[in-house]
Amino acid sequence: MVGLIVETCVKIALALGVLMTGAAYLVLVERWIAAWVQDRIGPNRVGIPLTNIRLFGLGQPIADGLKLIFKEEYVPGHVDRVIYNLGPILTFVAAVAVYAVVPLGQVDLGIAGWRPIDLTIVPGFDAALVYLFAANGAAVYGVIAGGWASRNKYSLFGALRAAAQLIAYEIPLSLTLLVVALYAGSLRLDQMVLQQAQTGVWNIVLHPLTFVVFFVAVTAEAARLPFDLPETEQELVGGFHTEYSGMRLMTYLVSEFLHMVTAAVLIVLLFLGGWHFWGLTGSEPVAGIGGALLRIVVFAVKVLLVIWFFMMMRWSWPRFRFDQLMRLAWKVLIPWGMVPLVILVWWYSGGEEALGMGGGRGLAVLAAINWAALIAVWIVTARLSPPSYDNRPRQDLVQLARESEQAIPARVRPTAKVWRPSFDNEE
């Protein structure tokens, strides 16, 4: 029992340390990529303090962190103190709690009498997937709390948008998860990774349509561009964190970043084979020390590649309008998410036998069906509803209104109120 507690504490400390440092340095990477995409150089000055050694700007995260810690933490007088303080904490806890169930395989240290150590903080959690998405979805409570307690219109708008967006994208996300869980026959993440490792076929090959839906939905969940509607600077100042400063703001920003990392981790775990790479990591659940380190490296490289793509995405495509965002969720992604689910249910409830398939050939046919479904669904969507559309008032209706207004006799026609600027608050 004591051993278990010590082991868990060590794992938590390691995970938190890696996550915090990782998030800090990912902020630097994000700034670099932003700079490079804009033909700038990016942060390259801050190195070792009190020297002229620059180290390509690797001291920047420390300087940023120190700046935010020592900044004045201004709390406006009108806020609801308790909820205002609770907001960032809730978001942060939710963002970190997710990492309790991220599986990295098992390691056998080779010491007699020791059982293989599971590189997961909570090993063998049967409902890992459910827990993970519950924790991930709980982050929105912190956002809503912060936006509500700020007693500021912009904050509230940001929080409302966050709530609407997260609820909308939670549905396609759950649909895709059903597919993945059904295919793995388990809700355990390590089981899903193990299945991909043992068959050698990553889920992205087998379930492309699921992957597309999942990728878009998880980006929207993490509120990354082009789906960062809760905090659009041009419309909402800072969105839900308009009234926050100092450490509280940093907590929000770090949790937001961790959400992106979570999204990348999920994509890698569920669709890109987790720690598995062909001919490199093996496919047994337990590995030796070298093998385990190699698996962690493979996993980290995959996650970093996905994060890099997230960062590129930020500058590649313009932000969606809010109605387009909602439209994408309800009218495109939810129907799309149902297609692979129906296919997989049909496959397991008789389709496989009906086609006379079994074993490896069966997987190839399933993959072919799913790819065909992706192409078909994409074409149908493009035909039925173009991604951009005119949201101006319909001109035929405007014309009708104008004509009907003219039909009313002038003496009873309500005169249009002319708007004039008022300067009441200027004495």
Partner 1 sequence: MKPDSSEIRWVDEPPLTPAERSYLPLFIEGLTTTLRHLVSPKITVQFPEERHEFPDPIIYRGVHRLNRDEQGRVKCVACFLCATACPAHCIDIVAAPSPWPDREKYPVVFNIDMLRCIFCGMCEEACPVDAIELTSLYDLSGKSREEMIFDKEKLLSVYDQTKDLEPPRWMRERDVVEDQKTDSASGEN
- Closest approach, Cβ 32 to partner 1, in A, equals 10
- Measured in residues, the chain has a length of 427
320 phi-psi bin (left φ>0, alpha ψ -120 to 50, beta other): beta
Round to whole Å and give the CA distance between 390 and 392.
6
The residue among 199 and 381 lying less far from partner 1, judged by its C-beta, is 381
The residue among 127 and 382 lying less far from partner 1, judged by its C-beta, is 382
Query: How many Cα atoms sit within 13 Å of 84 on the Cβ side?
Result: 19
The residue among 40 and 153 lying less far from partner 1, judged by its C-beta, is 40
- Closest approach, Cβ 245 to partner 1, in A, equals 28
Burial of 51-89, coded b for 16+ CB within 10 Å and e otherwise, reads eeeeeebbbbbeebbeebeeeeeeeeeebeeebbebbbe
- Closest approach, Cβ 128 to partner 1, in A, equals 33
The residue among 308 and 348 lying less far from partner 1, judged by its C-beta, is 308
- Closest approach, Cβ 198 to partner 1, in A, equals 33
Round to whole Å and give the CA distance between 313 and 227.
11
Contact residues for partner 1, defined by CB under 8 A: 33, 36-41, 312-313, 315-317, 378-379, 381-383, 386-388, 390, 392-393, 395, 398, 401-402, 416
- Closest approach, Cβ 315 to partner 1, in A, equals 5
Please name which of 29, 20, 37 lies closest in space to residue 57, comparing C-alpha atoms.
29
**Largest alpha-carbon pair distance within the chain?**
100
- Closest approach, Cβ 316 to partner 1, in A, equals 4
Give, in order, the Cα–Cα distances in Å from 186 to each of 129, 143, 190: 9, 32, 9
The residue among 185 and 387 lying less far from partner 1, judged by its C-beta, is 387
The residue among 5 and 384 lying less far from partner 1, judged by its C-beta, is 384
- Closest approach, Cβ 208 to partner 1, in A, equals 14
The residue among 85 and 381 lying less far from partner 1, judged by its C-beta, is 381
Give, in order, the Cα–Cα distances in Å from 323 to each of 173, 220, 317, 386: 19, 14, 17, 14
The angle subtended at Cα 159 by Cα 386 and Cα 310, nearest 5°, is 55
C-beta separation of 202 from 271 below 8 A: yes
The residue among 99 and 169 lying less far from partner 1, judged by its C-beta, is 169
- Expressed in percent and rounded to 5, the helix, strand and coil fractions of the chain are 70, 0, 30
- Closest approach, Cβ 385 to partner 1, in A, equals 8
The residue among 359 and 393 lying less far from partner 1, judged by its C-beta, is 393
Name the phi and psi angles at 111, rounded to 5. Answer: -90, 130
Residue 118 pairs in a beta bridge with 106
- Closest approach, Cβ 318 to partner 1, in A, equals 8
DSSP labels for 404-420? HHHHS-TTTSPPPPPP-
